[in-house]
């Protein structure tokens, strides 16, 4: 495992090793052990060409927790604005010999392209609508910790809403099925992908039909920056038909948990009461687990 470009490129043992190291870091952080010298002296470059709150900050937090240094390269003030090509920008950074590059880009398979141009490990922090593997690892770490299991066998997980534009769904469908879960996609027909990156996905066009029997309900934001503006004319109408409310959540299994990669659009795909339900919502736990999951990624790829 030299790079983390997608779940697709990981072997089963790579996935297990990343999750196991993630568990170790999560437990250490829970015990107040915030110091590791593991990546001391290493320099990591964060290259985010799209907006980010969680992913960018948690890669930064993870690097600092491991005692690495991190540079937040800024697209807005870079020479891309002077007309430099993306390829030349990457070659420039690569020439300075960083120990890893973390990249988020709207361009399809940008991490693969960067990996061919630099010598260091390249980590995908969000590739177009295709894959977001570090999110899939933190989602899986969150489920294994919550349900106190290794692997997800026997679980039924529904991924709901704008699946067709979601790189999180792209990676989650793969990792969840590979770890033994049954995955359902619940989406309106106009947000339903026409093909899936994993086998055996069941599809439903209403929450009422898809939620019964689910242990996990993952909601997604309507990613309007990736769709034609007229596709969802009314957020209120979307909420009435596809928003997760407490009433709808009762259709799922009794102890079903709610996830969301965030950012959330409250009152659209999810109600406040569900997002903030301390018994059912794992949303802020996911954010917490983003740090140990990314510590594991940096550790195994850079060290
Ligand atoms: C997601 C992303 O950027 O793909 N956010 C994240 O990384 N947690 C989901 C989204 O933007 O809706």
pLDDT tens for residues 186-234?
999 999 999 999 999 999 999 999 999 999 999 999 999 999 888 999 9
Cβ atoms 297, 134 nearer than 8 A: yes
Q: What is the DSSP string of 68-85?
A: -EEEEEEGGGSGGGGT--
CA–CA separation, 16 and 20 (whole Å): 6
> How far does residue 41's CA lie from ligand 1's centre (Å)?
30
Which of 104, 129, 132, 172 is the pocket-test mutation for ligand 1 (most atoms within 8 Å of CB)?
A: 132
Whether 58 lines ligand 1, by a CB cut-off of 6 Å, is: no
pLDDT of residue 190: 96
Q: Which atom of ligand 1 is nearest to the CA of 50?
A: 3
**Atom 12, ligand 1: residue with shortest CA distance:** 221
What digits encode the pLDDT tens for the residues 115-157?
999 999 999 999 999 999 999 999 999 999 999 999 999 999 9
pTM above 0.95, yes or no: yes
Q: Which atom of ligand 1 is nearest to the CA of 132?
A: 4
In the three-class reduction of DSSP (H, G, I as helix; E, B as strand; rest coil), residue 44 is classed as strand
SS (H, E, C) 225-267: HHCCHHHCCCHHHHHHHHCECHHHHCCCCCCCEEECCCCCCEC
Whether 138 lines ligand 1, by a CB cut-off of 6 Å, is: no
Task: Give backbone dihedrals phi and psi of 180, rounded to 5 degrees, phi first.
Answer: 100, 0
Residue with the two structure tokens 């540079």 = 71
69-74, strands of its sheet edge to edge:
69-74, 43-48, 100-105, 122-127
Range with the poorest average pLDDT among 28-32, 60-64, 73-77, 126-130: 73-77
What digits encode the pLDDT tens for the residues 251-268?
999 999 999 999 999 999
> How far does residue 42's CA lie from ligand 1's centre (Å)?
27
Bond before 263 cis per omega within 30 degrees = yes
Token pair, residue 192, equals 């339903």
> How far does residue 124's CA lie from ligand 1's centre (Å)?
13
**Atom 6, ligand 1: residue with shortest CA distance:** 261
pLDDT of residue 35: 85
**Atom 3, ligand 1: residue with shortest CA distance:** 126
Q: Which atom of ligand 1 is nearest to the CA of 290?
A: 8
């Amino acid at each position: 495992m030299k790079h983390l470009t997608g779940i697709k490129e990981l072997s089963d043992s790579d996935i297990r090793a990343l999750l196991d190291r993630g568990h170790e870091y999560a437990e250490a952080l829970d015990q107040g052990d915030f110091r590791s010298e593991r990546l001391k002296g290493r320099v990591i470059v964060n290259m985010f060409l799209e907006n980010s709150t969680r992913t960018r900050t948690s890669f930064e937090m993870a690097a600092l927790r491991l005692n690495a240094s991190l540079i937040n390269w800024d697209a807005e003030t870079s020479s891309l604005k002077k007309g430099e090509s993306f390829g030349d920008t990457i070659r420039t950074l690569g020439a300075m010999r960083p120990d890893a590059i973390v990249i988020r880009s709207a361009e399809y398979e940008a991490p693969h392209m960067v990996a061919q141009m630099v010598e260091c490990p390249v980590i995908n922090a969000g590739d177009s609508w295709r894959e977001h593997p570090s999110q899939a690892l933190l989602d899986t770490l969150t489920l294994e910790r919550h349900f106190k299991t290794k692997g997800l066998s026997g679980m039924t997980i529904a991924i709901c809403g704008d699946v067709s534009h979601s790189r999180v769904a792209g990676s989650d469908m793969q990792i969840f099925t590979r770890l033994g879960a049954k995955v359902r996609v619940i989406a309106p027909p106009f947000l339903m992908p026409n093909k899936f990156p994993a086998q055996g996905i069941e599809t439903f066009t209403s929450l009422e039909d898809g939620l019964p029997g689910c242990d996990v309900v993952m909601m997604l934001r309507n990613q309007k920056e990736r769709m034609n503006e007229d596709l969802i004319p009314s957020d209120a109408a979307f909420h009435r038909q596809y928003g997760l409310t407490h009433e709808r959540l009762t259709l799922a299994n009794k102890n079903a948990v709610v996830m969301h990669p965030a950012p959330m659009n409250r009152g659209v795909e999810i109600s406040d009461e569900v997002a903030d339900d301390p018994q059912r919502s794992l949303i802020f736990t996911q954010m917490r687990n983003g740090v140990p999951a990314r510590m594991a990624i940096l550790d195994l790829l850079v060290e």
